[in-house]
Amino acid sequence: MASPEIEALTQALSRLPGLGPRSARRAVLHLLKKREGAMEPLLRALEAVNERLVTCHVCGNVDTVDPCGICADPRRDARALCVVEDVADLWALDKSRLFPGRFHVLGGRLSALEGIRPEDLTIDALVARLEPGGVDEVVLAMNATLEGQTTAHYLAERLERFPIRLTQLAHGVPVGGELDYLDEGTLAQALRARRPVG
């Protein structure tokens, strides 16, 4: 029988995505066996991120600096903007290194069932980013779910007054799929085959 502290650690880890009780128990045992080589560096990394974690005021990404590393990167094409539902989608697309522009995180997707309305997302901030001009293309990289496509259609209506090329990811993204779980090949194909909205 483990101590209450070890049991609490196991339960905390089991609540993480992809870890159930058995996987969490194995992770805790590994950390206990490799205390200096695994647990202490993990603790330091968690403390450092916890102390410095911020949301980028420009795009909505999470990072330890504001503006985030993507927004501050002068090599990024400021004329191309990719709109995603959440940070996991941004990280998945950025990891592929196929999109040279900047990002905008909506903070979710429209959902009547969950009561998520346009004012609950960062749509007004997106419009404000487009107001000054300078953006030539906006890629709507919504998940291929009913809510994601509803959000994309709503955004297309809101952004139609801007002189931009409005595109969305191709249908290579499986219906019901989420960007965070796709392999780089599928993401690459979806970005290359993006098409105009409407």
In tens digits, the chain (198 residues) has pLDDT values of 678 898 998 999 999 998 889 999 999 999 989 888 888 998 999 999 999 999 999 999 999 999 999 999 999 999 999 999 999 999 999 998 899 999 999 999 999 999 999 999 999 999 999 999 999 999 999 988 889 989 999 999 999 999 999 999 876 677 777 888 887 877 887 887 777 886
Residue 176, domain member (yes or no): no
CATH of the domain at 94: 3.40.1360.10
pLDDT, position 182:
82
Q: Containing domain of residue 42, as a range?
A: 4-20+28-52
d(CA 30, CA 168): 43
Q: Are residues 99 and 143 in the same domain?
A: yes
Both 147 and 105 in one domain: the answer is: yes
Domain identity same for 40 and 70: no
pLDDT score, position 1: 62
Q: Which residues of 11-32 are buried (b: 16+ CB within 10 A; e: fewer)?
A: eebbeeeebeeeebbebbeebe
CA dist., res. 55 & res. 86, Å (int): 12
Tell me the backbone φ, ψ of residue 22, rounded to 5 degrees: -70, -45
Tell whether 79 and 156 lie within a shared domain. Answer: yes
For residue 115, the one-letter residue type is G
Asked if residue 41 and residue 74 are part of one domain, the reply reads no
* Residue of 47, 64, 44 whose CA lies nearest to 55: 64
Contact yes or no for 100/79 (Cβ under 8 A) = no
The whole-number pLDDT of residue 169 equals: 84
